[in-house]
Copies of this chain bind each other. A is one copy, B any other.
Amino acid sequence: MEYSKQKLHEEKVFKDPVHRYVHVKDRVIWDLIGTKEFQRLRRVRQLGTTYLTFHGAEHSRFNHSLGVYEIIRRIVDDVFDGRPEWDQEERLLSLCAALLHDLGHGPFSHSFEKVFHLDHEHFTQAIILGDTEVNGVLTKVGKDFPKHVAEVIAKTYENKLVVSLISSQIDADRMDYLQRDAYFTGVSYGHFDMERIMRVMRPREDQVVIKQSGMHAVEDYIMSRYQMYWQVYFHPVTRSAEVILTKILHRAKELHETGYSFKQKPLHFYSLFTGSVALQDYLKLDESVIMYYFQIWQEEEDGILRDLCERFMNRNLFKYVEFDPAKEYKKHSELETLFKKAGIDPEYYLVVDSSSDLPYDFYRPGEEEERLPIHLLMRNNELRELSRESDIVDSISGKRRTDHKLYYPVDLLYDESTKKNIKRQIRTILELS
């Protein structure tokens, strides 16, 4: 039998705390899960440094990827199958794209991408199209199949309906991570009636739409998303850990560039430092490897690298104050000057971090980061953009919320063994007692 149609002799189930069970019956999916590139996602945490704020958030991207797959499987097999607007030939493609959509994520993606100018989406494409086990499995389905999977994930696939299942303002990706991250952190946000939303999803020519009767479940989902962003994803303590992590990477790079001699050669970082990361090098990076280096760098000669690594490993994070970059730039430069005088390098120890989110947006053609709005399928079969029907969504639609904080090492500022007066000045400016 054709590889793409092969079913496992017996369905495999994964016990999943969020969706109860993840079901796999297709051989292609089973084989993809078994590839080493997919197994590597077990060694990359879904929420990066969030576990330092919410200790339950230790779950991996492996978990999330299975979850997104399972959501798509249920939509396609239980809701879409048999509807004229849906082409069941797109089923396997949708499942594969769902499973693999995060394949290129590296360890602590956010910081790594920023410091080393990487892009996980680039690596997702590279893994799917390159010389990998994943590519081997996909190619067995068909010569063009890897390309199509890559296109769905890149949102360039011609069937926009399939694209919107995986990437839209109400896609399987978001529905999984909101629930999963809520489950593992233990917060009470993040709950919405996904079963209801799935049942009212309908395939249309170029997008998934939501039957009008499901509007309130969607409202609930959007509110969940809003709360998760501000209560969990942008939590200031997590951002503090992120700031330190970013500064560790900066420092290591800087040291390398200035010819510093590490006690143990940071081989895994070389290609990162030089900016040309080959796929095979990238695939060796995972959070164990990074934590290994942070562990040994606690014994490096360089004081800044050592200190930052100790802070990260032992969760001795920076404190913060609210900060308005537009109005307080003078205060900031004053603090920089004082930090230097106090012998605390502001490059590493005085950091502004900003977070910003748009909870929902209607369509703004031509604007950067165009977002597809959510459409309701009305009883008369017309489509209406969600915010025109929902008061609650309308009230937050298109409203970007931004938050800036200034991070600093409070312990150093209270160390009065040196530069006592300058540190007191700094504390006064920061309104520390």
Contact = CB atoms under 8 A, between A and B. Distances in A.
A386 to B, nearest CB: 15
B188 A220 contact: yes
A112 interface: no
Given A287-B288, A289-B295, A17 B185 contact: yes
Nearest to A230: B216
Interface string A267-303: 0000000000000000010111111100100000000
A193 B21 CA distance: 11
Interface string A303-323: 000000010011110000000
Question: Looking at chain A, what size class is its interface with the partner chain?
Answer: 35 or more
Interface stretch (A60-68, A123-131, A156-164, A332-340): A60-68
A55 interface: yes
A188 B191 contact: yes
Interface of A is mostly: helix
Contact of A59 (B13, B18, B56): B56
A25 interface: no
Interface stretch (A34-42, A343-351, A369-377, A413-421): A34-42
Given A15-B56, A58-B59, A195-B20, A36 B295 contact: no
B34 A226 contact: no
B392 A396 contact: yes
Contacts of A62: 55
A50 B219 CA distance: 23
A192 B185 contact: no
Interface string A212-227: 0000110110010011
A38 to B, nearest CB: 9
A428 interface: no
A187 B17 CA distance: 7
Nearest to A211: B10
Nearest to A393: B395
Interface string A64-107: 00100000000000000000000000000000000000000000
Given A51-B42, A314-B39, A288 B295 contact: yes
Interface of A: 13-18, 20-21, 34-36, 39, 42-43, 51, 54-56, 58-60, 62-63, 66, 183-189, 191-193, 195-196, 199, 216-217, 219-220, 223, 226-227, 230-231, 284, 286-292, 295, 310, 313-316, 391-392, 395-396, 399, 401
16 contacts: A15-B55, A20-B186, A20-B195, A34-B316, A42-B51, A42-B55, A56-B59, A188-B192, A216-B230, A216-B231, A220-B223, A287-B288, A288-B290, A288-B291, A291-B292, A391-B396
Q: Nearest 8 A-B pairs (CB), nearest first? A: A17-B186, A395-B395, A288-B291, A292-B292, A188-B193, A36-B314, A288-B288, A17-B56
Given A58-B59, A292-B292, 4 more contacts: A288-B295, A289-B291, A289-B292, A392-B396
